[in-house]
């Protein structure tokens, strides 16, 4: 039995079975490359679900983490620490300024903060009944009970009823459906600029601009969930920028720590002021290790112009995927891309075959593969990945 098989057996005996894991143990990474316990190389075109946007073991991030770990790990949020305010200032500048940031540990917690803040603001400005949040079918906002209630995927909610009250969903990218749902009890609309877990489905810029106007008319806040799309992934710093709108609240997480858990909820200052001391808090959110990583990540992303890299590499990857005969359609923004496979191909089976061939992707729907490589991915790595995928698809026997 190999070390990996020992680990798999130990995992099965002692870890809750909440994940359908592949039988691979990754032990190290470098840039776009991952290596398993037997030294085999893989191209990582998933980035840990759009997390390691600067690639694995980035030197500047690794150095910042090591230095912070040897200096100070935790004091609680009762005190100031070195990196939190500078990271907040950089995020605020990227979002246009005039806002405030709350740091959390994950995207779900960032969305929890957004929902609580919207409810607090809504009740302060519209009375106690204004606490409902409208989101979209196909959305994904987290696995906690509240963010699950906001998530527009009934199959994920079914076995956890009853969920918290005050959430409703409407068809994505359908303005009439949204307008019909916005009554006086709604405090906020919660949307993703690109539904990542929903199959990499971008909202049209026209829809997002109309939603902004509708929220203003109905006095509802606009929350944009940028947990998967934020920080360069779509070819802009944030996905909503493709529509040239200004949200009231923006959440982010995955790319912010390049693998170190951290989330953030930004809000316009007027909205953020709805929270008073004691209204919201976290023990570990924004602690020195996480914010040291985020500071290094943001410095590096600014230095390399990460959104421009994603836009250019994304065009190359989309063109190459679109040329494959077994790919029916390609969609997405920047380096968050889905390839819709022709009829008869099972995305989960293709994902497993890709892994066997040394390419890490995932099946975002039963018929579509998701690609989210590091924003630093090279042209040669894109070409190699598409060649690996082409080999897998050709071997699948699907009609071309």
Catalytic residue among 225, 238, 240, 275: 225
Catalytic residue among 140, 238, 240, 275: 140
176 catalytic, yes or no?
A: no
Contacts of 94 (CB under 8 A, 6+ apart): 237, 238
116 catalytic, yes or no?
A: no
Contacts of 149 (CB under 8 A, 6+ apart): 157, 163, 164, 166, 167
140 catalytic, yes or no?
A: yes
Question: How far is Cα 131 from Cα 115, in angstroms, rounded to an integer?
Answer: 9
Catalytic residue among 240, 248, 254, 275: 254
At how many degrees (to 10) do helices 379-395 and 306-322 cross? 30
Contacts 24+ apart (CB under 8 A), 55-58: 55/29, 55/30, 55/31, 55/374, 55/376, 55/377, 56/28, 56/29, 56/30, 56/31, 56/32, 56/259, 56/374, 57/28, 57/29, 57/30, 57/31, 58/258, 58/296, 58/297, 58/300
Q: Would you give the DSSP letter of residue 153?
A: -
Tokens standing for 376?
């630093």
| Residues involved in catalysis | 140, 225, 254
């Amino acid at each position: 039995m190999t070390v990996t098989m020992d680990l798999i057996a130990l995992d099965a005996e002692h870890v809750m079975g909440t994940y359908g894991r592949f039988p691979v143990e990754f032990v190290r990474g470098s840039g776009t490359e991952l290596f398993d316990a037997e030294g085999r190389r893989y191209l990582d075109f998933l980035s840990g679900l759009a997390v390691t946007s600067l690639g694995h073991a980035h030197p500047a991030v690794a150095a910042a983490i090591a230095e912070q770990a040897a200096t100070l790990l935790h004091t609680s949020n009762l005190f100031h620490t070195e990196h939190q305010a500078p990271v907040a200032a950089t995020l605020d500048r990227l979002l246009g300024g005039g806002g405030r940031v709350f740091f959390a540990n994950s995207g779900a917690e960032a969305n929890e903060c957004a929902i609580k803040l919207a409810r607090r603001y809504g009740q302060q400005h519209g009375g106690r009944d204004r606490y409902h949040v409208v989101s979209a079918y196909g959305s994904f906002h987290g696995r906690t009970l509240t963010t699950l209630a906001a998530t527009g995927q009934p199959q994920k909610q079914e076995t956890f009823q009853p969920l918290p009250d005050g959430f409703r969903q409407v068809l994505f990218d359908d303005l009439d459906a949204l307008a019909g749902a916005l009554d006086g009890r709604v405090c906020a609309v919660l949307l993703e600029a690109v539904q990542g877990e929903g199959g990499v489905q971008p909202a049209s810029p026209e829809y997002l601009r109309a939603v902004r106007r509708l929220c203003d008319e109905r006095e509802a806040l606009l929350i944009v969930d940028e947990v998967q799309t934020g920080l360069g992934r779509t070819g802009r710093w944030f996905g909503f920028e493709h529509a040239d709108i200004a949200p009231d609240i923006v959440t982010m997480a995955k790319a912010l720590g390049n693998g170190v858990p951290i989330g953030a909820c930004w809000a316009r200052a007027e909205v953020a002021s709805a929270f008073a001391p004691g209204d919201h808090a976290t023990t570990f959110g924004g602690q020195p290790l996480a914010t040291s990583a985020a500071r290094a990540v943001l410095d590096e992303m600014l230095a390399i112009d990460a959104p421009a890299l994603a836009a250019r590499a994304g065009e190359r990857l989309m063109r190459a995927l679109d040329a494959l005969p077994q790919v029916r359609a390609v969609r997405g923004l920047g380096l968050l891309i889905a390839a819709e496979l022709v009829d008869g191909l099972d995305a989960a089976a293709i994902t497993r075959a890709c892994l066997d061939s040394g390419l890490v992707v995932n099946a975002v729907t039963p018929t579509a593969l998701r690609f989210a490589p590091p924003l630093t991915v090279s042209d040669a790595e894109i070409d190699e990945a598409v060649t690996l995928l082409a080999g897998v698809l050709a071997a699948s026997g699907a009609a071309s």
